[in-house]
Amino acid sequence: MIDLEVPRKFRPLVEQARGMAEEVFRPISRKYDLAEHAYPQELDLISAVIDGMGSSGAGQGAGASHTTRAVDDQEGVVAAVGSGRNTREDKGVKNGSNLSSVLSILETCRGDVGLTLSIPRQGLGNAAIAAVANEEQKARYAGQWAAMAITEPETGSDSGAIRTTAVKDGDEYVLNGEKIYVTSGERAELVVVWATLDRSLGKQAIKSFVVRRDNPGLKLVRLEHKLGIRASDTAAFHLDDCRVPAEDLLGNPEIKTGGGFGGAMQTFDNTRPLVAGMALGLTRGCLDTTTELLAGAGVTVDWDRPAPVQSYAAARLIQMEADYEAAHALTLRAAWMADNGKPNSMEASMAKAKAGRTCVDVALACVELAGATGYSERELLEKWARDAKILDIFEGTQQIQLLVIARRLLGMSSSQLK
């Protein structure tokens, strides 16, 4: 069974991440919210520290690049490789890199979500590589920053409708299409591009390709101006006869039409708990700040008394804390399952759905409870309310998560339940 206490071996990592949030991210959060598209130079030192921790073995799971998963394409079975050591033959209960990554990201996002997304070599593309790449590819891409390009102008949340094509030409694939909302697209060294080998086969033919950022066929169109997470650059690309070596196709190049999603789709089982962890961090920041502000105004929660007999503000805090704890438990469960070789697609979607919605609801409620202070730039609450919405959208919208959950519960395929 999962133990909800933070494992002892992860406590130093969590403390370091908390210190990073409070001492580095919070002080510069407003600066890079106002200076959209400016690269946070302060993160170079943070990145060097994380790299040093990883080299020493002390920082396993310090970021998204450390979450790993082995995909058995023959059986459609997903086996987690916690901290790069777990195997399906190892029957012991593991607290590995998926859980530690969620715990550390939760802490850094108490400081700033956009800055967390901007840490070099800790991108969601790195998690995608860790999820489906073979060992040779993982070694070849090690130490490089990878963005992930999935969304297209006319596909939205339906990843199976991807129109970007990949056509085999000798020892290369030729990619053509358009990608939007690519997090860290300008700054990253690599971009993991999702493309289809055969549009008629839907999700089964989707593969992910690692494209070098300096590839002449990968053309930056624009950087988006956004509601929130402004410290993180968000790019749009055209792929025009973009030639990629065949060895840069992640995982198995064969199209398998039976037994669940292809390897590329398994990436979400890794990244959705991470995004849920981001939402938890922002939620925790909102709750802590609002609790302090209300206490300063004489409003405190009496945890020994029922909510209905307390003030509205206190009762609202109790409700939001309960939602946070539910989202927290679901997220840890999804990450723990991945570390222990248990299929977690439904649980990953449950975590993402609950944490994303809780984050938005809590952030807006905290702005309301704090009154004029919450709406002004004197506190970060208004910024967090803007940042929150993306956590309910990317890596699959709220509605997509509920569809995934329903399909799993009912034993139905995506073609049977749309």
- State the catalytic residues: 395
Length of the chain: 418
Q: Is 408 exposed, middle or buried (0-12, 13-18, 19+ CB in 10 A)?
A: middle
CA atoms within 13 A on the CB side of 322: 8
Distance CA 215, CA 242 (A): 7
Nearest C-alpha neighbor of 204 from the set 270, 160, 246, 162? 160
CA angle 154, 384, 375 (to 5 degrees): 115
Distance CA 155, CA 381 (A): 33
Nearest C-alpha neighbor of 128 from the set 296, 271, 303, 275? 271
CA angle 164, 243, 138 (to 5 degrees): 90
> In degrees rounded to 5, what are phi and psi of residue 222?
-165, 165
Q: Is 336 exposed, middle or buried (0-12, 13-18, 19+ CB in 10 A)?
A: buried
